[in-house]
Structure 1
């Protein structure tokens, strides 16, 4: 009889020749897909919850305005009153219309009629500030306004 225990075959070694190619393909993939954060928040932005939420699909048609109390590192200088952030600077309500018009001018003419202003308002901000911003937007005839929220139970906003 033949002894089968002595004839153990060894598994072939795994070829590592293609590993650098795979690593570089992954590197290029993540370099092209990753987006860089646009704005540094200068205001606290704790968004409220809402039950009926719809995601805005086309990011090139959005102008963002942040509203909230100054960030903790700026609160000692600016106080605790809500501030408006346009890009990377704090602004007053009267500057909103000129900012929105300049952002609108940067957009291609074919999508200017479809631009939406996205208000990212902290849930502690009073409604008066938001209505002042909406008045400024009405002056420049930008009537598509979106309120950015988190998806969740709206009753959690009262806590």
Structure 2
């Protein structure tokens, strides 16, 4: 009899030493690339009017968005004339203060490039949008963009 017996060799175990590194790399990747919505919509997702010529806005950090549409919460009413500034339902009289506040967040040399984007539901009242435009004119916010979806009318 031999003193040393040969062991049967099977498949080696899978090496999991690199697994934590891979998991943390994936976690870090998703943390860096994920963007969080800055404002929660208080108006229903606007059904934008369609347009044939659409241009994408550059420099999203210089865009202040005003939402116009029907409020999600019934306590504000059921008309399509509700205006949302940041995270609250407001009136057209609150627009100048909103624009001044947005300007204060941007360096002075970039303030002339600021754009006000109006995302209005296609059922919105034109009078409400006109009131917003007049208030924007009062604070010299003359660069206005109307959001639309690309498609044929």
Q: Check whether TM > 0.5.
A: yes
Which residue number corresponds to residue 50 of structure 2?
49
CA distance in 2, matches of 1:118, 1:132: 15
Query: How many residues align structurally?
Result: 142
Greater Cα shift, 43-52 or 136-145: 43-52
Query: Is 2:90 the partner of 1:78?
Result: no
Greater Cα shift, 123-132 or 41-50: 41-50
Normalised by the length of structure 1, the TM-score is: 0.82
* Structure 2 stretches lacking a partner, 5+ long: 1-9
Structure showing the higher helix proportion among its residues: 1
Deviations 1:97-142 (A, max 9, x none): 1111111111111211100001011110021111110111111111
SS in 1 for 2:133: helix
Normalised by the length of structure 2, the TM-score is: 0.85
* Alignment of structure 1 residues 17-56 onto 2, 5 Å: 17-44=17-44, 45-56=46-57
Q: Alpha carbon RMSD of aligned pairs, Å?
A: 1.7
* Structure 1 stretches lacking a partner, 5+ long: 1-9
Q: Which runs of 4+ in 1 moved over 6 A?
A: 10-13
CA distance in 2, matches of 1:88, 1:141: 23
